[in-house]
Structure 1
Amino acid sequence: MSEPSQPNLYLTRRHWLALAASAVSGCGGGSGVSTASLPGTGGTGYTQGSISGFGSVFVNGVEFDDVMASANGSIQIDGVTVTSDYLRLGMVAGVQSERGVDPAPPTVRRIDVWSIAQGSVLQIPRVIQRIQRTDGTFAESAEFTVAGMTVQTDPNTSFYGVAFASDLMPNQVVMVWGLQAGTDGAHWTATRVEVRPMGMAMNMVSTGVVYVSGSQRLLNGLSLSGSTAGTLTVGALVRVQGTWSPASNSLAVEHSKLLGSGLVFQPPGHDEIEVEIEGFVTDTPTASGFMLGNIVVDASAIAPISTEVKKGARVEVHGTWQSGVLKATEVELETEQTLQTVELKGVMDSFVSKAEFWVRGQRCDATGITKVEHGTLADLKQGVEVKLRGSKAGDVVMVTELEIVVDD
């Protein structure tokens, strides 16, 4: 296995995302279920969602050209500046972009990625459901506890270091990226789970709503201590990082990030910012709106909402950000096929066989294909640039189409 050695990806300073977003940057690949006309076609935009591929980078099914952002240091993971080579499938990213002339993809101005949890797995994960797909691959839904959080996985979760959540063992250290799955801020559905090397120094990260018991501030059952903890507002949705003491189940908070109304990447305070946000419906919709994570969505402009948009549904919402409310102009239901589909373009980092090779840090299996566009199976080797399409199966992408890039 060959991939860029990971930097120490935890929050090293308080980092606030400055947006200059004025137009939706694109539509995703889900099925449109409720829509109104979208304004404008030019300028800049803001998109938040899980990474679904690399060509440059795909978020919510939209390709963004990240070459300049990577070159000028405008990509960060947990506050650490990185190149685009460190981005991975399933990481939740906030993308500022600038539209070019069609059909060219929007140009990335900035990408910010934040993990929602880091820490040791405390118990053996609980498997909720395990199924076998028609192609013979397996998928499961499971849950485990890390940093006081209940993290759920589903067949759309990407993994690194294990094939499924059920393979996790107590005391393994993991990083988790995900989407808020409950209004309490403590329940999240993982879009990516990554096992970190044993012995690697990492502080704990936990995300949730601050509450008080007596005079003690708590987050996800963890007692918060230190001067930074004292500044946290009760009832606020925050991401905190610090040193965990297992004896007292307390977290000495070193850094915190206010998530406000549920956006991991906080938009600026002025009104009428146009955005595209991926998330889970966390409350039963009314005729004119619903909750997306902790975000209030006003869908009165497209009411009545489709009956497919219900609690637990994973959707993309397009609209404008106005006074802390997302005014929806379109709601797209994300289908299983869309969530499973992966597109990768890059040089083969390593090649063992067609059953095991790596592109953009992702393990791939092409045993299901019999032909290669612009070449043959014998031409596949380390260093060859390829473009492929496939579906997620735990920590592997099962390749259904593959071509050798001969003229880019």
Structure 2
Amino acid sequence: MHLKQILLSAVTCLMLSSCGGGSGGMLLSEGGIGGTGISVGSITGFGSIWVNGVRYDVSQASFVRDGAAASGQDDYLIGEVVTITGVINADGVSGVAETVEFDDALEGTVTNISTDNSRIEVLGSVVQTDASTLLYGFGQLSDLQLGNVLEISGTQDALGVIQASSIVLKQQVFTASESKLEVKGVISDVDLSAMTFSLGSLLIDYSVADVELSNNTPVNGLYVEVESELAPEGNLILASEVESADEYAEFESGQEVELEGYVTSYTSSLQFSVSGQPVMTDASTEVENGLLADIRLNSFIEVEGYINEQGVLIADEVSIKRSGGESEDEEEEDYEEEIDD
């Protein structure tokens, strides 16, 4: 972890821990909506759990990590993206969590090292870091070697690139009974006779896998999660489990939502999507750190509001954390050049 990040995390944890279990505490960002709802964002502190500027009391919460029950907040790390279901108090900066769920974006071996010390390839997927990415078990990307096993938490941007909020070095090399692979993506090139399909550049052999799909059969266009207990052989993964998955968080009509993520599609400043969730703004939407006109494709923002009957998030408030920069075509060219160098 960079020295700046170590100091920031340490100071944050100490200040939060000193606040005890009440509703007071350090305000890390703007705070949240009141009422029962769902908050999706990265953990910014402990002493309870801070997400999207709200300090959640987790003393009575249930915890889930990668689909399995977890014991408590000690099983999580600052920077990991979680989904919290619970109640936000009227003050907008404190709440009570009912559930805390974490699901990594990717877990697997390093398949390509980038020379710019900001991008890396894991199981063929590009992972982007920045100054806010927290690194655990190593100091910088240039310390990593081919075959290192990493767990990535983060959010996909408009190009499908994983913008990492945290990276954990799990093992130096893939180790049987300790290491595992977890990769998500859209199925293509299904070969029912060979019992294979593709996920991006990966070839998945599901001949011995527990396939939890409709009719136990993979279908082109289906978004899935693949797990394996064996090291990849080139681009080939022998799957132990294949199951359908949600590409993005899903919400129900009437739910209050706080959503942190990248603008993944953009029609106008009044209509766009964040992490695949359609969003609408209007003249009454409050904007922090800029104007609605500053929002563009790949802006990193936080949206607060409610889900209407059409499944659209009607934004009461938008906080712009990073505006988008280059066009989609320019960014895609940059990613390809960096990884190919």
**Superposed CA offset, 1:380-403 (max 9, x none):** xxxxxxxxxxxxxxxxxxxxxxxx
Structure 1 gaps of 5+ residues are 1-26, 33-37, 128-139, 337-408
Question: Does 1:280 pair with 2:267?
Answer: no
Q: Equivalent of 1:192, from 166, 171, 175?
A: 166
Aligned to 1:205: 182
- The 3-state SS of whatever aligns with 1:126 is coil
Question: Does 1:92 pair with 2:74?
Answer: no
Note if contact 2:54-2:92 (Cα within 8 Å) is conserved in structure 1.
Answer: no
Closer/same/farther in 2, CA of residues 233 and 49 from structure 1, 3 Å limit = farther
Closer/same/farther in 2, CA of residues 209 and 326 from structure 1, 3 Å limit = farther
CA shift at 1:252, angstroms? 1.2
Aligned to 1:14: none
Aligned to 2:313: 326
- The 3-state SS of whatever aligns with 1:46 is strand
Partner letter of residue 164 of structure 1?
Q
CA shift at 1:102, angstroms? 4.7
Note if contact 1:240-1:256 (Cα within 8 Å) is conserved in structure 2.
Answer: yes
Distance (whole Å) between structure 2 residues aligned to residue 335 and residue 29 of structure 1:
14
Aligned to 1:219: 199
Q: Equivalent of 1:241, from 213, 220, 227?
A: 227
Closer/same/farther in 2, CA of residues 166 and 245 from structure 1, 3 Å limit = closer
- Aligned 1:24-103 pairs, distance under 5 A: 29=29, 41-42=34-35, 44-69=36-61, 74-82=62-70, 83-100=72-89, 102=91
- Aligned 1:257-336 pairs, distance under 5 A: 257-260=244-247, 262-263=248-249, 266-267=250-251, 270-300=252-282, 306-322=292-308, 323-334=310-321
Distance (whole Å) between structure 1 residues aligned to residue 257 and residue 203 of structure 2:
35
Q: RMSD across aligned C-alpha pairs, in angstroms? A: 3.0
Note if contact 1:117-1:206 (Cα within 8 Å) is conserved in structure 2.
Answer: yes
Note if contact 2:271-2:281 (Cα within 8 Å) is conserved in structure 1.
Answer: yes
CA shift at 1:172, angstroms? 0.9
Distance (whole Å) between structure 2 residues aligned to residue 181 and residue 81 of structure 1:
29
Note if contact 2:224-2:242 (Cα within 8 Å) is conserved in structure 1.
Answer: no
CA shift at 1:253, angstroms? 4.7
Closer/same/farther in 2, CA of residues 103 and 94 from structure 1, 3 Å limit = closer
Note if contact 1:119-1:204 (Cα within 8 Å) is conserved in structure 2.
Answer: yes
> Number of paired residues?
278
**Superposed CA offset, 1:322-378 (max 9, x none):** 444333222111269xxxxxxxxxxxxxxxxxxxxxxxxxxxxxxxxxxxxxxxxxx
CA shift at 1:61, angstroms? 1.9
CA shift at 1:124, angstroms? 2.0
Aligned to 2:103: 114
- Aligned 1:122-161 pairs, distance under 5 A: 122-127=111-116, 142-161=118-137
Distance (whole Å) between structure 2 residues aligned to residue 76 and residue 250 of structure 1:
26
Partner letter of residue 148 of structure 2?
Q
Partner letter of residue 121 of structure 2?
T
Distance (whole Å) between structure 1 residues aligned to residue 31 and residue 102 of structure 2:
26
CA shift at 1:232, angstroms? 4.4
TM-score normalised by structure 2 residue count:
0.72
Partner letter of residue 207 of structure 1?
K
Structure 2 gaps of 5+ residues are 1-26, 324-341
Distance (whole Å) between structure 2 residues aligned to residue 335 and residue 284 of structure 1:
15
**Superposed CA offset, 1:13-51 (max 9, x none):** xxxxxxxxxxxxxx972599xxxxx7xx43x22100000
CA shift at 1:64, angstroms? 0.7
CA shift at 1:312, angstroms? 2.3
Greater relative CO (CA pairs within 8 A, separation 6+): 1
Note if contact 1:116-1:176 (Cα within 8 Å) is conserved in structure 2.
Answer: yes
Note if contact 2:31-2:93 (Cα within 8 Å) is conserved in structure 1.
Answer: no
- The 3-state SS of whatever aligns with 1:194 is strand
Distance (whole Å) between structure 2 residues aligned to residue 329 and residue 103 of structure 1:
13
Q: Equivalent of 1:254, from 221, 241, 254?
A: 241
Closer/same/farther in 2, CA of residues 293 and 99 from structure 1, 3 Å limit = closer
Judge which range, 205-214 or 290-299, deviates more: 205-214
